[in-house]
Amino acid sequence: MSTHVALLRGVNVGGRSKVSMKELRQLFEDLGYTGVVTYIQSGNVVFDAARPPASPAAIEKRIADAFGFDVAVVLCTQKELAAIVERCPYPDPAKVHVMFFNRAPAKAAFAELDAAAFGADEFTVGRKELYLYLPNGVGRSKLPAALARQAPREATLRSWRTVTKLLELSQR
């Protein structure tokens, strides 16, 4: 049995792509997973799998069939999430967000961004993630949108608080 985290992109944001967390938990249970837990309303699912989980594309299809819209899904294991937390390069995690991907991002795509254009905001490319240091908050920053334009379609952003809570839930 292994524990995994599914991160859905754009769920319950701005009145679009509304998904009941109860229905989302049921969908994951119907896929054969156990111990399914959701965290907040933005599409964070922690689950246990007796065998390797379905591909992100297979889960995306099930979500589209069940809810009637397309949602990108990023999957990671509990061990991968723990490593992401451990590798955080910034000393003040309260000001950090993480952008998750299903595979390693092309570093060259992000090298083209002019760091000076984003003031105090910074980012660091990880293995299958980007760390964003946003000292003035995510709401005032133009960096996440600029990075998202360069990122794969499934890229999804989570606050450090959400990342660490998901890690905690996955260690039950």
pLDDT tens track for 102-152? 999 888 888 888 888 999 999 999 999 999 999 999 999 999 999 999 999
Whether the full predicted model's pTM is greater than 0.75, yes or no, is: yes
- Is the pLDDT confidence value at 14 over 80? no
- pLDDT for 148 equals 92
Task: Please list the alpha-helical segments (H only) found in the chain.
Answer: 21-30, 56-67, 78-86, 107-111, 143-150, 160-170
Protein fold of 2-79: Alpha-Beta Plaits (3.30.70)
Is residue 98 predicted with pLDDT exceeding 80?
Answer: yes
Average pLDDT, the chain: 94
Measure the CA–CA gap between 87 and 124, rounded to whole angstroms: 11
Q: What is the C-alpha to C-alpha distance for residues 4 and 169, in angstroms, rounded to an integer?
A: 10
